[in-house]
Chains A and B, each alone.
Chain A
C-alpha cells in the first residue's frame, strides 16, 4: 500500500460501546495503525472530518446535530460503515420511537416524581431532538453494515482487515450477531 488509509470515526446516538469494542482488538491496533491513520475521531479529538477513505459511524440519528455530522462524514468519506445495532436499526435509543417526544420530555423533566423539576432544557446550544430515532442508512447512503451490540472485537478486526485487503467483508457463524 502506497500510503496509509485515512479513517474517521464518530458516535452519534450510541453509547460508545462500539468504539470500546473496536479498542478491544487490543494489540492488533498496532498492526492496524501500520495501515491506517485516524482523522476525526473520539480517539484523536479532531473536531471536523477531512477527506477520508473510510468513515465508521456508531449510533443512530436522534437529533439535528447527528444529521449534520453524518452528512459531513458522507461528504468526506469514500466508504461509510454503519457500526453496531444503533447505526443499523436505531437500537436502544429507537426504543423511544413508540412514544411521543413531548410526552417523554415532560415526564422526564417536569412530572416524574423524584426527578428535578427544572423544566425541559431549551439552551440554544442543545441540538433539537428528532421526533423519531432513525438508522443512519435512512439519512445518507451507507456502503457497509457491521451488526452487533456491540460487534465483537474479532468481528471488527475481520471486517476491517477484509476491507483493507480489498475483499468484501465476510463474517461467518459466531461473528455475525445482532445482540
Chain B
C-alpha cells in the first residue's frame, strides 16, 4: 500500500456502540483486542488460527449470535458483547465447563493465573448451578518435567494445535465424542513420557487452565500477587495481546 495510514480511511465496525477500526481479514475479536476492548475467550489465541469451539467469545451481530473469533470483521457491523443476554450465556458456558471437569481451585498450581477461573470472576460465576459430573480422569505424571492433570481440561485444543503446528510433534489429540470427548497423548502407551514432548515446547506454554504444568514449580507466587489477583482478565493490560497465554505455570 503506497498511501500512509493517515490518508486511508480505516474501516470500522461498532462494538457496544464504540467504533473499532480493523484491517481487512481481521476477525472481530482480533480487531477488538487490538483496540484494547476485551471480549471473553478461552480457545482463541492470537498466535493460532481461530478454533471457534469454546464459544465464550459469543457476540450478537445485527441481532444474530456468532463467535467473534471466527467472524471476519466488516465495515458497519453492529456488534453487541457486554449486554446481559450475551453475558448470561457466557456465564452458563463457564458453569458447564466447571461441572464437566474437576476444577478444585485450592489445589491447583494454576490458580490465580487460570483463564477459566478469571473468566468465572469476570462474569460473576458464584455457583456451578448444574450438578457436578465428577468425571474420573487419572493424572499422567510419567514425564520427568511436566505433569498432565486431565481433570482441568476444557478441550480448547490449544496444546493439540501448538504441538501440531509449531512443535511439529503431534503429541496431543482429542478422542471420543460428546460428553466422552477427552484429551489423549499420542503414544502407544498413552503416557507423556513415551513421547518426544519437552517442557520447552510451545504446547507446554499455551494451556489456559491447569492441565499442562511444569514440575517442581509449585505455588511459586503467593495468593494476592498472582496475575489475576492483581487485575481482572478484562483489564487491557491482561487482554491486549493476550498476555495471559504467555506464561506456563504459576
Contact = CB atoms under 8 A, between A and B. Distances in A.
The answer on A and B forming one complex is yes
Contacts of B117: 178
B192 to A, nearest CB: 20
A170 to B, nearest CB: 8
Contact of B128 (A88, A95, A144, A179): A88
Contacts of A144: 126
Interface of B: 98-99, 102-108, 111-112, 117, 120-121, 124, 126-129, 131-132, 134, 136-137, 223, 229, 231-232
Contacts of A95: 104, 107
Nearest to A97: B134
B126 A145 contact: yes
A82 B127 contact: yes
Contact of A173 (B98, B106, B223, B232): B232
A43 to B, nearest CB: 24
10 contacts: A89-B103, A92-B104, A94-B134, A98-B102, A137-B128, A138-B131, A138-B132, A178-B103, A178-B106, A179-B111
A94 B102 CA distance: 10
Closest A-B pairs by Cβ, 10 of them: A145-B127, A178-B105, A149-B106, A179-B105, A145-B126, A97-B134, A179-B106, A179-B111, A173-B232, A98-B136
Contacts of A82: 127
A179 B121 contact: no
Contacts of B128: 88-89, 135, 137
A135 B232 contact: no
Nearest to B231: A173
A137 B231 CA distance: 30
Interface string A85-127: 1001111101101100000000000000000000000000000
A179 B126 contact: no
Contacts of B232: 173
A66 to B, nearest CB: 16
Contacts of B223: 179
Contacts of A69: none
Contacts of A146: 126
A85 B127 contact: no
- Which of A91, A170, A173 has the most chain B CB within a 10 Å cutoff? A173
B90 to A, nearest CB: 16
Contact of A88 (B102, B108, B111, B127): B127
A147 interface: yes
Nearest to B134: A97
A158 interface: no
Contacts of B132: 89-90, 94, 134-135, 138
A39 to B, nearest CB: 24
Contacts of B131: 138
Contact of A91 (B98, B104, B136): B104
Interface string A139-166: 0001011110100000000000000000
Given A85-B105, A94-B134, A95-B107, 14 more contacts: A89-B99, A92-B106, A94-B104, A98-B136, A132-B134, A135-B128, A146-B126, A147-B126, A149-B105, A173-B231, A176-B120, A176-B126, A179-B111, A179-B223
